[in-house]
Amino acid sequence: MSKSKGEVKIEQQEAQGRALASAHDIEVTEIYVDDGVSAYVFADRPGWAQMMADVQAGRLDVLIAQAEDRFTRQPMEKETLAALCAGSGVTWLTVNDGALDPATADGAFFSTLRAGLARMESQRKSERQRQSNDHHAERGGAQRGGVRPFGYEDDKVTVRESEAKLVREAYASFIAGGTVSGIATRWNADNVLTTRGSRWDINKVGKILRRERNAGLVRHRGAILRDERGEAIRGEWDPLVDETTYLAAVARLDSVPRHGGRLHAPKYLLSGIAKCGACGLVVRSFKDGQRVERYRCTVHDGQGHKEKGVRHVSIRVEDIEPTIRDAMVAAVMFAPSDALSDRDTAEVATLNVRRGEVARALARLVELVEEEVFTLAEIAAKKRKLSTEADDIDARIADITQRSARAAILAETSADLWADSSLTTMADKRAAIRARFDGLPLEQRRTLVRSLLDITIEKGRGAGRVRVTHLVATTLNSEADPYVEEQPEAV
C-alpha cells in the first residue's frame, strides 16, 4: 500500500484489502506499507523492497491491493514484479482491477497496459500541477505549501512585524559592514527561533538575506520571474526591504572573503579596520608571548609582500582603543545624521530605470540571434558591453545603499545617545556618549567605526602614532580640540 496526495488513505486501503481477502477466503499473512511515498517515483520504499524479497523467497501466494498502481506506477518496476510473481506462482487480486495472473499472456498484457496508463495519468497530473503553479507564480502568487517564511504569517502574505523588524535590521547591519555570524549570535542571544523552531547559524541567516521574496520578487523554478519587458514580477505580499537593499546585501554576500564558506564575526573593535602605516594592509588582533592583546599588520599572517627592511606595525590594544573611542565620541556628536541626500535618492531612481533598460536589451539579444539581424560575434560583443554596464550599475547602487544603511545606523545611534536631556555640559555629554557607545554590541560599534573613521597606525611607540581621519564629521580633521568648551572672555 502507498498513498499520494489526494488519494485513498492507508487505513481505508487496508480495510478494503482485508474485505477482499475475506471474500475470497484468503488468509492475510503480511501487510506492506510505504505511507507518504508515491508509487510513481523511484524512491527508497522499504515496504516494496520487503514485498519483492518475500515474493522471490516463495512466501506468498497472492498480492492484494486497492489497485495495481498501488504496487508501482513505473513500467520497469511493474515488469520486474510481474516476472518475479510469474516465476514464483504468485497472482494478483485488486479491488479496482480484479484478479490477474502475470504468468499468462493476458495477464502480462493487461499488467503492462495498466502500468503504462497509470504512468501516463501521473505525468498528466504532474503537468497540470506544474502549469497551475507556473500560472500562479506568474501572477505573483505566494508559494503553495512548504514552511512559513521568516517574517510572514502562515498565509505567506501577511507580514509578521516582530520578525520583519529583525530582517530589516539584519539587512542594514550586514550592508553596513556587519557579519552573518554576528546576526546569528544576536538572534540566538535574544531567543529568536527559525520558523522550524531551531536556533540560527550562518547558513540559515545567509538564506534569509538571499531570499528574493524579502524584496517582493518572485522566484520560481530557480529564477526570478520577469515579464515580457524584462521587469521583475512583483509578489502579492508586502516586501520587507526594497530591491536595492536586497541587491546590495547579495552583492556583499557574493564578494566578502570566506573561510570554509563562513562569515565569522571579529572579536576585537579594530580587527580588519585599522591599517598599517608601512604598507596599507589592515591589522588583526593577536596575543604576544606575554599574552598581551595587540593588533599587528596582517603581513605577519602571510598576506601581502613582506619587503626586507620594512618594519610593519604592532600596537597594544590598550594603547589604541581609548583614542578611537574618543574619536568616536566626537564623530557621533558632530556628524550629520541624514541617511541619503536627495541627489543620491534621485540617482538610485535613475540607475534603476537604466538597469531595467539594460535587462530588456539583453533579453532582446536572443531575438536578434533568431532573426539573424547580427552575426554571433556582434551579438557576443553587444552582450559583453551590456553586461559590463549592468555590473557597473549594480555596483553603484550597492555603494549608495551601503552608505545609506551606515548613515541610518548612525542616525539611530546618535539619536539614542543624545536622548538624555539632563546632560548639560559638554563633559557630561562626552561621558554619557562614551558609556553608551561602549554598551553597544561589538558588531554595531565596528560598523560605526568603519563608517566614520579612517584609522592608520604609524611606526613608533605608544598611542601618539595613531592617525585618525574623520570620514563624515570632516570639520574635526584639524588640530583644534573639538571637546574644549567655550570659556567666557576675561573682563
Neighbours of 186 (CB within 10 A): 21
Q: Which whole-number Å values give the CA distances from 232 to 218, 359, 454, in the listed order?
A: 8, 10, 39
Place of cell 508559494: 143
User: Could you tell me if residue 293 is left (phi over 0), alpha (psi between -120 and 50 degrees) or otherwise beta?
Assistant: beta
Q: Is the pLDDT of residue 481 over 90?
A: no
Q: Which long-range contacts (CB under 8 A, 24 or more apart) does 352-358 make?
A: 352/243, 352/244, 352/397, 354/393, 355/390, 355/393, 355/394, 355/397, 356/229, 356/230, 356/231, 358/386, 358/389, 358/390, 358/393
Instruction: Answer with the residue of higher pLDDT: 32 or 307.
Output: 32
Instruction: Tell me the pLDDT tens digit for each residue of 168-187.
Output: 989 988 887 778 888 998 89
Q: How confident is the model at residue 142 (pLDDT cuts 50, 70, 90)?
A: confident
Please compute the mean of the pLDDT values over residues 456-461 and round it to a whole number.
Answer: 89
Q: How far apart are CA 393 and CA 217, in angstroms?
A: 19
Instruction: Tell me the pLDDT tens digit for each residue of 368-407.
Output: 766 666 777 888 888 888 888 888 887 777 666 666 655 5
| Rg of the chain on CA atoms, in Å | 34
- What was the pLDDT predicted at 446? 84
Q: Is the pLDDT of residue 76 over 60?
A: yes
Instruction: Answer with the residue of higher pLDDT: 447 or 235.
Output: 235
Q: Is 161-255 assigned to CATH 3.90.1750.20? A: yes
Domain 10-138, CATH number (from 1.10.3720.10, 3.40.50.1390, 3.40.50.2300, 3.50.50.60): 3.40.50.1390
Instruction: Answer with the residue of higher pLDDT: 185 or 35.
Output: 185
- Most confident residue range from 21-25, 229-233, 396-400, 444-448: 21-25
Neighbours of 146 (CB within 10 A): 8
Q: How confident is the model at residue 415 (pLDDT cuts 50, 70, 90)?
A: low
Instruction: Answer with the residue of higher pLDDT: 467 or 364.
Output: 467
Q: Is the pLDDT of residue 202 over 80?
A: yes
Q: Is the pLDDT of residue 421 over 60?
A: no
Instruction: Answer with the residue of higher pLDDT: 340 or 112.
Output: 112
Q: Which long-range contacts (CB under 8 A, 24 or more apart) does 199-207 make?
A: 202/262, 202/263, 205/170, 205/180, 206/180, 206/253, 206/263
Please compute the mean of the pLDDT values over residues 78-103 and round it to a whole number.
Answer: 92
Q: Is the pLDDT of residue 92 over 80?
A: yes
Q: How confident is the model at residue 483 (pLDDT cuts 50, 70, 90)?
A: very low
- What was the pLDDT predicted at 207? 93
Domain ranges of the chain: 10-138, 161-255, 342-417
- What was the pLDDT predicted at 163? 95
- What was the pLDDT predicted at 12? 87
